[in-house]
Amino acid sequence: MAEAPQVEAKNETAAAIPAARPRPTIRPVEPDDAPAIHSLLTASIPDVLSDRERWLARWHWQYWNNPYRQGRPAGFVLAEGDRVLGHLGAVYLPIRVGPAHHTGVIGADYAVSEQGLARAGVFAALELAQRLFTECADCLIMATTANEKTGAVFGRFGCRPVEWSREFWRASTSLHQQFRTCCGGTSRVLRRAFNTRFGPLLMRALVRGYGSRGRGPAIPIRYGCWLETTVPQLARDLGQLWENLWTAAHHGKRRGSGKVVRRVAVHRSQEYLDWRYGSHPERDHIRVLVVRNSGGRPLGAAIVFRERRDDRHVVYVEDLLVPSRRRDVARTLLCAALRLAHQGGAEYLVTSPGHRAFRDLYWELGFESRARNAPAVVIGSAESNASDGPSLPDAIEDHFEFWHGMMF
């Protein structure tokens, strides 16, 4: 009986020591995680939509209403109970590598909080990426809003950067810029004139003359063609346009060695376009510009998205469906997009490089080249995918298409 108090004292001491919390675990994302993920992202990543309702609508659309997910995980979270300490989303897209069809997955909204690193260790971000690369090994894995940290992590798993995706291009919507783009873009003589010491006087005269009548410069368009402006829900022939462009680009095209050149791009089928633009929660701000010939056949199209936030008001060229040899069609579409941005009150028209073949066209049209701190795209290779995954061409820099609409 004399020892009973000692036993009771030991039990009280043990009860006073809190049990060690279990280490946070990595699991697939669930729909109910959305508010916690938004809080994590707004605290960790610049440029995330602060308007929660807008962000939630986009999140459910791109992850859960994505027709290419097909039961796969919508991403992974580092979780401790109900707390989300880290996240790496998975956005699925249809990919073409030459004639072959594949599923691609974009690692998006990648962040680990300071608490997550403290609780799970400094390798928590690598563990999230490991789950993505393990469970999506049959997909072409990439990141399309990569920063230096994302590039470094994905590089550990065999991904490689596409260096020219470091660039993006923008043009002011001012009348001055419209004249530079619409007139100078079609005439080398006028471009040279604008760059002489009398160029500012010539530009001022044009702006004053047209501006006083409330008019801008004419959009350059080939004789017999016409320009249509519509909404994505009514643009029902763009999928076929894309298929025709893709087939024409690959027909008989070979390297000097005799191997077929395999371009890599998102497969813009009508199903994809209907989801990506026609089902977008902010589709009221999306317009489709189509250049058609006299018979109504589409020669090229541009999809533009107007985004207004507290810190900026811009129009993005989300996609440009036009063969690289038809620079006249591309020029018409970019000039029309600039006019549309001006009419909507946006400050800038912004576009990604799209393809190396378009780079000098932007220079001709007077767009400014801007640079990111890191290439926007890092993309998988044979080493980063399972043996049954897609194999990419070695010269990926020359054969990869990347427009703003691919950024998730």
Interval 58-93: pLDDT, tens = 999 999 999 999 999 999 999 998 899 999 999 999
Most confident of 198-207, 240-249, 333-342: 333-342
pLDDT band at 224 (very low <50, low <70, confident <90, very high): very high
136-140, 146-150, 245-249: least confidently modelled range: 245-249
Output the average pLDDT for the chain: 87
Q: Looking at the predicted structure, is the pLDDT value of residue 391 above 60? A: yes
> Distance (Å, rounded) from C-alpha 51 to C-alpha 38?
10
Question: Are 64 and 31 in contact, with CB atoms under 8 Å apart?
Answer: yes
CB atoms under 10 Å from CB of 141, counted, come to 27
Segment 334-356 mean pLDDT: 94
Number of H helices, E strands in the chain: 14, 15
149-153, 182-186, 344-348, 360-364: least confidently modelled range: 182-186
The DSSP secondary-structure symbol of 285 reads: G
Q: Looking at the predicted structure, is the pLDDT value of residue 253 above 70? A: no
For β-strands 140-143 and 378-379, DSSP reports them as: antiparallel
As given in the structure block, the two tokens for residue 7 are 């036993």
Short-list 153, 162, 101, CA closest to 132:
153
In this predicted model, what pLDDT tens digit does every residue of 258-288 receive, in sequence order? 555 678 999 999 999 999 999 999 999 999 9
In this predicted model, what pLDDT tens digit does every residue of 188-218 receive, in sequence order? 776 777 777 777 777 677 767 666 666 678 8
Residues 74 and 158 both lie in one domain: yes
Residues 237 and 347 both lie in one domain: yes
Question: Are 79 and 87 in contact, with CB atoms under 8 Å apart?
Answer: no
Residues 39 and 87 both lie in one domain: yes
> Of 162, 185, 204, which residue constitutes the final position of a domain?
162
> Distance (Å, rounded) from C-alpha 21 to C-alpha 120?
11
Residues 181 and 154 both lie in one domain: no
Q: How far is CA 323 from CA 25, 64, 316, 401, in A?
A: 48, 33, 20, 12
DSSP structure string for 123-141: THHHHHHHHHHHHTTTSEE
Residues 99 and 151 both lie in one domain: yes
Domain containing residue 367: 167-372
According to the model, what pLDDT value does residue 323 have? 86
Q: Looking at the predicted structure, is the pLDDT value of residue 257 above 60? A: no
Alpha-carbon Rg for the chain, nearest whole angstrom, is: 26
Share of the chain above pLDDT 70, in %: 86
Q: How far is CA 387 from CA 137, 267, 382, in A?
A: 9, 22, 8
> Of 142, 162, 182, which residue constitutes the final position of a domain?
162
> Of 143, 162, 181, which residue constitutes the final position of a domain?
162
Q: Looking at the predicted structure, is the pLDDT value of residue 1 above 50? A: no
Higher pLDDT, 164 or 384: 164
Is 264 inside any structural domain? yes
Q: Looking at the predicted structure, is the pLDDT value of residue 226 above 60? A: yes
**CATH, residue 308:** 3.40.630.30
Which residues contact residue 401 at a Cβ distance below 8 angstroms, ignoring those fewer than 6 apart?
A: 263, 264, 265, 266, 354, 355
According to the model, what pLDDT value does residue 12 have? 54
According to the model, what pLDDT value does residue 67 have? 97
According to the model, what pLDDT value does residue 197 have? 76
Share of the chain above pLDDT 90, in %: 66
Beta bridge partners of 112: 86
